Copies of this chain bind each other. A is one copy, B any other.
Amino acid sequence: MKNDSSSTTLQEVADAAGVSPATVSRFLNGTAKVADDKRKTIERVIEELNYKPNRLAQSLKMGSTRTIGVLTQSLESGYFNKTMTGIEDVMKAAGYVLLIMSGHWHADEEAERVELLIGRRVDGVVILTGNMTDAQILQFSKRVPIVAFGRKLEGDRAIGFSLDNYAAACSAMELLIEQGHRRIAFIAGPSDQEDARARLAGYRDTLARHKLELDPNLVVEGDFQESGGLLAVDQLLASKQRFTAIFAGNDLTAYGARLALYRRSIRVPDDISIIGFDDLHSSMYTTPPLTTIRQPLYEVGTCIANLLLPMLGQPGGAVDIPALSLVVRESVRRIT
A interface list, Cβ under 8 A from B: 1-3, 5-7, 52-57, 59-60, 62-65, 74-76, 78, 81-82, 84-85, 88, 97-102, 115-116, 118-121, 123, 142-144, 157, 226, 230, 255-256, 258-259, 262, 281-282, 284-289, 312-314
Contact = CB atoms under 8 A, between A and B. Distances in A.
Contact of A255 (B63, B78, B97, B282): B282
Given A6-B63, A52-B119, A259 B282 contact: no
27 contacts: A1-B123, A2-B64, A3-B121, A3-B123, A3-B144, A5-B142, A7-B143, A52-B115, A56-B121, A60-B60, A75-B88, A76-B78, A76-B81, A76-B82, A76-B85, A76-B281, A78-B78, A97-B99, A97-B116, A99-B99, A226-B285, A255-B285, A255-B286, A259-B289, A262-B288, A282-B282, A286-B287
Given A7-B143, A259-B285, A286-B287, 19 more contacts: A1-B123, A1-B313, A1-B314, A3-B144, A5-B142, A52-B115, A54-B60, A54-B119, A55-B120, A56-B56, A57-B60, A75-B81, A97-B99, A98-B100, A99-B99, A226-B282, A258-B287, A262-B287, A262-B288
A114 B220 CA distance: 48
A121 B287 contact: no
A287 B287 contact: yes
A203 to B, nearest CB: 23
A120 to B, nearest CB: 5
A114 to B, nearest CB: 12
Contacts of A75: 81, 84-85, 88
Given A2-B63, A88-B75, A97-B101, A55 B119 contact: yes
Contacts of A64: 1-3
Nearest to A121: B56
A76 B282 CA distance: 12
4 closest A-B pairs by CB: A1-B313, A2-B63, A262-B287, A255-B285
Contacts of A82: 76
